[in-house]
């Protein structure tokens, strides 16, 4: 049975005090809502990881995650944070390859493959993002591009390694735009990704959680999460408001 995950990506938002209030509210509200095979992940800005992780304590429903990590372990890389540092702080999740990292920081498939390796080597769970820009969707080559993104950054892994990765399909045209993929568009692409993984790795493709991201809100989450191959969501804007985020969690 695949783990269902709702991950909030706070991006570069909130002061420390606001981050702590948001965390407290989510802890309070999620306690009774998360049942069974469901995990909630709060991907906070780097400076707040330690405080939020401490706030969560031994909470076995909610975990903290980083939004990026370096492809290096240690050394003269000013401004960077390594997977080794995150592991030493007991941070269990890390987003890798978010479209904003690809777009604004020039991260490509080969670099992301190295980041995935570093995260796995440190025992972190990478939440690997893929997804097509609008012009590719309009050209009709979106399936080919997403398959290529998955292949470039994940297909060097062993089956054992791949099973530790969570994938997030996030069509770029739906991120922060208020425009959501229809549940059919999401299901179709998730099935394509799973089938592509199965073509190389066989039955383990069935064990991999594939999340949908792109303007997920409380009023569309239920329909998206009901799709057979959608195992939860990566939520940006709507994860910054506790009530809205918890409504999304409830939808799973
Ligand atoms: C994201 O940043 O991963 C995201 C999906 O953002 P939003 O929910 O705001 O579209």
Domains by residue range for the chain, with CATH: 4-250 (3.20.20.70)
Q: pLDDT at position 164, please?
A: 98
Q: pLDDT at position 19, please?
A: 98
223 carries an active-site annotation: no
Mutation to probe ligand 1, out of 9, 68, 219 (largest number of atoms < 8 A from CB): 9
DSSP state of 233: E
Distance from Cα 232 to the centre of ligand 1, integer Å: 13
Residue 44 CA to residue 19 CA, distance in Å, equals 8
Q: What is the pLDDT of residues 64-101, one digit of tens each?
A: 999 999 999 999 999 999 999 999 999 999 999 999 99
| 217 phi-psi bin (left φ>0, alpha ψ -120 to 50, beta other) | beta
Residue 6 CA to residue 190 CA, distance in Å, equals 16
Q: What is the pLDDT of residues 17-64, one digit of tens each?
A: 999 999 999 999 987 767 778 999 999 999 999 999 999 999 989 999
Which atom of ligand 1 lies closest to the CA of 213? 5
Which atom of ligand 1 lies closest to the CA of 11? 2
Distance from Cα 10 to the centre of ligand 1, integer Å: 9
Q: Is residue 30 a contact partner of residue 3, using CB atoms and an 8 Å limit?
A: no
Q: pLDDT at position 5, please?
A: 98
Q: What is the pLDDT of residues 117-134, one digit of tens each?
A: 999 999 999 999 999 999
135 carries an active-site annotation: no
DSSP state of 241: S
Task: Give the residue among 135, 147, 130 at the shortest CA–CA distance from 234.
Answer: 130
Q: pLDDT at position 34, please?
A: 76
Q: Coil, strand or helix: which one is 144? A: helix
Which atom of ligand 1 lies closest to the CA of 217? 8
At residue 137, what are phi and psi to the nearest 5 degrees? Answer: -60, -45
Q: Which of 71, 98, 190, 196 is catalytic?
A: 98
Q: pLDDT at position 30, please?
A: 87
pLDDT higher than 90, residue 243: yes
Q: What is the pLDDT of residues 173-230, one digit of tens each?
A: 998 887 888 999 999 999 999 999 999 999 999 999 999 999 999 999 999 999 999 9
Helices (H), 202-241: 221-225
Q: pLDDT at position 36, please?
A: 79
Check pocket membership of 107 for ligand 1, CB cut-off 6 A.
no
Check pocket membership of 234 for ligand 1, CB cut-off 6 A.
yes
Residue 127 CA to residue 209 CA, distance in Å, equals 10
Q: pLDDT at position 37, please?
A: 86
Cα Rg for the chain, rounded, in angstroms? Answer: 17
DSSP string, 85-96: HHHHTT--EEEE
Q: Coil, strand or helix: which one is 111? A: helix
Q: Using CA of residue 155, residue 66, residue 88, residue 1, what is the dihedral sign?
A: negative
Q: Which of 170, 190, 196, 247 is catalytic?
A: 170
Q: pLDDT at position 14, please?
A: 98
Grade residue 150 by pLDDT with cuts at 50, 70 and 90. very high
Q: Is residue 166 a contact partner of residue 197, using CB atoms and an 8 Å limit?
A: no
């Amino acid at each position: 049975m695949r783990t269902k995950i709702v991950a909030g990506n706070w991006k570069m938002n909130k002061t420390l005090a606001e981050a702590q209030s948001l965390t407290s509210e989510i802890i309070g509200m999620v306690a009774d809502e998360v049942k069974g095979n469901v995990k909630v992940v709060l991907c906070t800005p780097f400076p707040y990881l330690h405080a939020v992780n401490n706030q969560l304590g031994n909470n076995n429903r909610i975990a903290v995650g980083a939004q990026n990590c370096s492809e290096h372990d240690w050394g003269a890389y000013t401004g960077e944070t390594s997977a080794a540092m995150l592991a030493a702080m007991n941070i269990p999740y890390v987003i890798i390859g978010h479209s904003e990292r690809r777009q604004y920081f020039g991260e490509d498939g080969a670099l992301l493959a190295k980041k995935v390796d570093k995260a796995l080597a440190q025992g972190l769970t990478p939440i690997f993002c893929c997804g097509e820009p609008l012009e590719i969707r309009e050209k009709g080559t979106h399936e080919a591009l997403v398959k290529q993104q998955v292949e470039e950054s994940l297909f060097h892994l062993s089956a054992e390694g791949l099973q530790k990765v969570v994938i997030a399909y996030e069509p770029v045209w739906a991120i922060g735009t208020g425009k959501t993929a229809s549940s059919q568009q999401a299901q179709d692409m998730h099935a394509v990704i799973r089938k592509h993984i199965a073509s190389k790795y066989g039955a383990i493709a069935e064990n991999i959680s594939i999340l949908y991201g792109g303007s997920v809100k409380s009023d569309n989450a239920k329909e998206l999460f009901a799709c057979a191959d959608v195992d939860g969501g990566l939520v940006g804007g709507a994860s910054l408001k506790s009530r809205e985020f918890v409504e999304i969690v409830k939808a799973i």
